[in-house]
Amino acid sequence: MKLRGPPIPLAKVLAALDERWPDANCELKHSDPYQLLVATILSAQCTDVTVNKVTPALFARYPDAKALSEAKPQDVQKLIKPTGFFRNKTKSLIGASRVIVKEHGGKVPDSMEALLTLPGVARKTASVVLGNAFGKNEGIAVDTHVTRLTQRWGLTRETDPKKIEKELMEKLPRERWTRFSHQTIFHGRYLCHARNPKCGECLLAGVCPSRQAAG
């Protein structure tokens, strides 16, 4: 991405996000680490809105990891089909639940190392669970919104989520990692769209190199 202007200073980005999205949080509805883990796995290539429509029935039938570990795949598939890729997601959900029961006493582990051993769990999912269910800033969840906006703001030139996360972790205070991800996702979801961004409503419009290029 070619920018017609210097990157936005990180301090300005953080200040604008705090002013515009002070209450940004995880929009996946959950009441415990197990529910958040399941919802996050389901959210891959699917909207949070759709996930939130599916999970109430799923959690009612499988209230914990033990119940889900014993589920029949075809039954889970029927419940989560609207989220897409339901066969692979079912395999991940049941597989992760079995490891949680066997290796962690039925409780979702609270470390990056342990979470990454669960089927269907990569760094983004683990970071979401750790940051929101356990209050631990162990990584930055880099989704399509975070990727797009950090590039638009000039905070990174990387395109690979792993490299973007590494660069952001080096630049951002650790205590901001989870909040930055939520705020950036909100900014991308509700203002800075991939097409037709609402630059007129953005607090960063005056210094954004992408806004300058657009107009």
- Beta carbons of 213 and 156 less than 8 angstroms apart: no
124 and 61 in a common domain:
yes
The CATH number of the domain holding residue 170 is 1.10.1670.10
113 and 165 in a common domain:
no
CB atoms within 10 A of CB 125: 23
80 and 15 in a common domain:
no
pLDDT band, residue 3 (cuts 50/70/90): confident
152 and 125 in a common domain:
no
Domain boundary among 76, 104, 133: 133
Our count of domains for the chain comes to 2
The CATH number of the domain holding residue 129 is 1.10.340.30
Q: Residue 88: name the closest of 146, 38, 42 by CA.
A: 42
CA distances from 13 to 117, 152, 164, 213 (A): 34, 12, 16, 18
Check if 48 is active-site. Answer: no
Q: Whole domain around residue 113: which residue ranges? A: 33-133
Span 132-152, pLDDT tens digits: 999 999 999 999 999 999 999
Catalytic residue among 18, 64, 143, 166: 143
pLDDT confidence of residue 211: 82
- Least confident span in 2-16, 87-101, 108-122: 2-16
Catalytic residue among 12, 124, 163, 171: 124
Q: Residue 30: name the closest of 97, 128, 110 by CA.
A: 128
96 and 118 in a common domain:
yes
Assigned token pair, 133? 């269910």
Span 85-99, pLDDT tens digits: 999 999 999 999 999
128 and 59 in a common domain:
yes
Check if 160 is active-site. Answer: no
Question: What proportion of the chain, given as a percentage, has pLDDT over 70?
Answer: 97
Question: What proportion of the chain, given as a percentage, has pLDDT over 90?
Answer: 95
Domain boundary among 86, 112, 133: 133
What whole-number distance in Å separates Cα of residue 96 and Cα of residue 19?
Answer: 38
